[in-house]
Structure 1
Amino acid sequence: MPSGPGPAVGPVDPAGPERSRQPGAAPAGAALPVPRERDPDDGELTAWLTGRVTDYARAARAASTWKAYDADLRHFRAWCAAQPGTPVAVPASALTVAGYLAALADAGYKPSTIRRRLAALSVAHQLAKAPVNPAASVEVATVWDGIRRVHGVRPERKAALETTLLTRVLAALDEPDGTGAEPAGPAAALAAVRDRALLLVGFAGCLRRSELVGLDVADVEVTADGLVLSVRSSKTDQQAAGALVGVAYGSYRPTCPVRSWQAWTAAARVEDGPAFRGINRHGQVGAGRLHTSSVARIVQRRARAAGLDPADFAGHSLRSGFATAAARAGASDRAIMRQGRWRSASSLDSYVRAGRLFDRDNPSSQVGL
């Protein structure tokens, strides 16, 4: 299964693109490489062009997806090796895959994890050119339906960090150490400035974690109306068409995402490169961008400092918090979908439902109690 770096690229045909060129980066009008020597393992393509085919095929999914699929396949192979009779993992029989799903369900794995592992097995058999894909069999589909009926498919959601809670978290940043747990000092003070900007931009922009840490300074433009964020790619934009997101000025300085962003860039003295970066214990700003997992750690650390249970929150709490708060404030579904770049109302519904439980048309307030 494809995973990790691509295969080594062989000598480049003089008529072809440069060796270092990335997928999709060939200049306009560049000629395709002409196969002059045949790879002994491939009767049609040179080794270089075969490698490029692999590179583009790998680009069809995110690197994190391939990494997860690879881990899932290793888990399945290990499970097969531990079974009586040692069933073959790839190509596997429908009964083997169905048994694997049943074992996962009985072991307490979440339906979402089981669904992803089933997808990984399906892709593995497609890439192996198996004559029959057991993941698509009637037997496996029936067992999967049974697992969903018995164990349910409702995902475990973290709490939404809606406006009231976010304001409470931001107020705790004004405490002497800014964290409630760390010693005061230049590093803690600078981290508080960064975290305020990260929380507010992530919340008001309704950004996913990957979108938030993926921002560069050049992607954030300060205008008279507010910030214009250039989101280059996202979970629902795998082809990187990009999108612009507007973040308006806040009514109050401590909770204004625009002023918080300006304060962070001024304090960190960052003019280009990653927008949000790590800070060492000496108060020095790093050159690399934060990891997606850093968003969750920042949210949880700041929630703890505000007296909230950090286990209730995660990086996604900013995005869900904005959707909940916007719905509660009466924003239309269309407006919320545009800000969060949701493709369908059904995807948005689980986010805004909590914010509209007690709308004026709630019938429980109209029955005379």
Structure 2
Amino acid sequence: MANLEDDPQGDGGQLAERPSSPHLEALSQKARDYARNARSENTRRAYDADWRQFAAWLRRQGLDPLPPDPQTVGLYLAACVEGSPGRDPLSVASLERRLAGICWRYRQRGAPLDTSERHISTVLAGIRRAHGRPPLQKEAIFADELLAMLATLEMDLRGIRDRAILAIGFAGGLRRSEIVGLDCGPDQTEDGTGWIEIFPAGEDISSASNNDGGAVLQISGKTGWREVEIGRGTRPETCPVALLETWMRLGRISHGPLFRPVARKNGGVSPERLTDKHVARLVQKTALAAGIRGDLTEGERRRAFGGHSLRAGLASSAQIEEAHVQKHLGHASAEMTRRYQRKRDRFRVNLTKAAGL
């Protein structure tokens, strides 16, 4: 019986058959490439890990992955949420993501898994009822806290790069994958997920006059392409655009990935793209160094801050109409934007008084 691990990329078993001509073979390769690009690199990596965990559990139980069996999947979900020696139980959110990864792999093999089947749906509903909790959110970083974080960084090339990452990530309300996915221009790399264009003062794509200029980011995010405008700040040492220009000039970066590793020994800039994990570590390190949320233990503070802290900070700080924040962040709904607003005007609409109580 077929083993789904024979297709580690999950690019579709139906596309793996050898075409009858060179032309069809080229099209088949293109189709596989498009299938891989149907999900972001981070999502594919997570789904691959989800499948490896599921496949390993099946092997331990002496079970075969094909055909997909809803009852077996239901047992696996129960096993995950209960945990085992050496393995912590999964949260409901992690369990749902793992199920999504399993379903995605089965679909790629042309053997879809029906999650509405009772052996899955009722088990999952029971798990949600017994173990469901409100989603844990990263602490938001506000403008004054961001300034304190910037001040903890050195003025070497690495510190200049990290200043630009923090400032651009905050001002753009970007996900960490969106930050490191930026290129210096369009169509410069195969793995880029966006690019940046810098406009000097007085120059604007709309030909308007008397403006300070800034940066325009074209971002391919979860909800499709969006355009993000980042205006210039009042001080060069904290202005996101000025910090970015300094990084590009000193790092001699004009083509390809915008943010790249810097060697510790000689300070040379790598041609490779920085990973999104660097953004999470950077936010955690500088938040701790700046003493933010000093009421928490160091371990709690590390868990409290991450890449999303920048995004949540902008959403919570921006004193403008919610629709503008929603568009800037690329959210499909206003409800999602509100989840990011850690400090918003609560109880402004008071239904208790409106009802006459």
TM-score range, shorter chain: 0.7 to 0.9
Give the 3-state SS of the residue equivalent to 1:102 in structure 2: helix
| 2:298 match | none
| 1:71 match | 49
| 2:143 match | 163
Once the two structures are TM-superposed, the CA of residue 346 in structure 1 deviates from its matched residue by 1.6
Change in Cα spacing, 1:359 to 1:67, as seen in structure 2 (3 Å) is same
The alignment status of 1:319 with 2:302, answered yes or no, reads no
Change in Cα spacing, 1:311 to 1:129, as seen in structure 2 (3 Å) is closer
The alignment status of 1:234 with 2:221, answered yes or no, reads yes
Once the two structures are TM-superposed, the CA of residue 48 in structure 1 deviates from its matched residue by 4.3
For the 8 Å contact 1:121–1:135, the answer to whether it is kept is no
Unpaired runs of 5+ residues, structure 2, are 13-18, 84-88, 186-195, 202-211, 293-300, 353-357
> What TM-score comes out, normalization by structure 2 length?
0.77
Change in Cα spacing, 1:261 to 1:125, as seen in structure 2 (3 Å) is closer
Once the two structures are TM-superposed, the CA of residue 163 in structure 1 deviates from its matched residue by 1.3
Once the two structures are TM-superposed, the CA of residue 261 in structure 1 deviates from its matched residue by 1.9
Unpaired runs of 5+ residues, structure 1, are 8-34, 40-44, 179-187, 365-369
Distance (Å, rounded) in 1 between the aligned partners of 2:146 and 2:350: 26
Distance (Å, rounded) in 2 between the aligned partners of 1:117 and 1:274: 31
For the 8 Å contact 1:98–1:140, the answer to whether it is kept is yes
For the 8 Å contact 2:9–2:48, the answer to whether it is kept is no
More relative contact order, 1 or 2 (CA 8 Å, 6+ apart): 2
Distance (Å, rounded) in 2 between the aligned partners of 1:88 and 1:215: 42
Once the two structures are TM-superposed, the CA of residue 99 in structure 1 deviates from its matched residue by 0.8
Distance (Å, rounded) in 2 between the aligned partners of 1:94 and 1:280: 50
RMSD: 2.9
The alignment status of 1:137 with 2:137, answered yes or no, reads no
In the TM superposition, 1:70-89 aligns within 5 A as 70-83=48-61, 86-89=62-65
The alignment status of 1:251 with 2:251, answered yes or no, reads no
In the TM superposition, 1:224-303 aligns within 5 A as 224=201, 225-237=212-224, 242-281=225-264, 282-303=266-287
Once the two structures are TM-superposed, the CA of residue 293 in structure 1 deviates from its matched residue by 0.8
Once the two structures are TM-superposed, the CA of residue 73 in structure 1 deviates from its matched residue by 2.1
Letter in 1 for 2:174: L
For the 8 Å contact 2:11–2:108, the answer to whether it is kept is no
The alignment status of 1:91 with 2:91, answered yes or no, reads no
Give the 3-state SS of the residue equivalent to 1:316 in structure 2: helix
Give the 3-state SS of the residue equivalent to 1:228 in structure 2: strand
Give the 3-state SS of the residue equivalent to 1:278 in structure 2: coil
For the 8 Å contact 1:213–1:290, the answer to whether it is kept is yes
Distance (Å, rounded) in 2 between the aligned partners of 1:5 and 1:230: 31
Once the two structures are TM-superposed, the CA of residue 191 in structure 1 deviates from its matched residue by 1.8
In the TM superposition, 1:1-369 aligns within 5 A as 3-4=8-9, 37=20, 46-83=24-61, 86-107=62-83, 108-130=89-111, 133-173=113-153, 178=154, 189-218=156-185, 219-224=196-201, 225-237=212-224, 242-281=225-264, 282-308=266-292, 309-326=301-318, 329=319, 331-352=320-341, 354-357=342-345
Of all paired residues, the percent bearing the same amino acid is 36
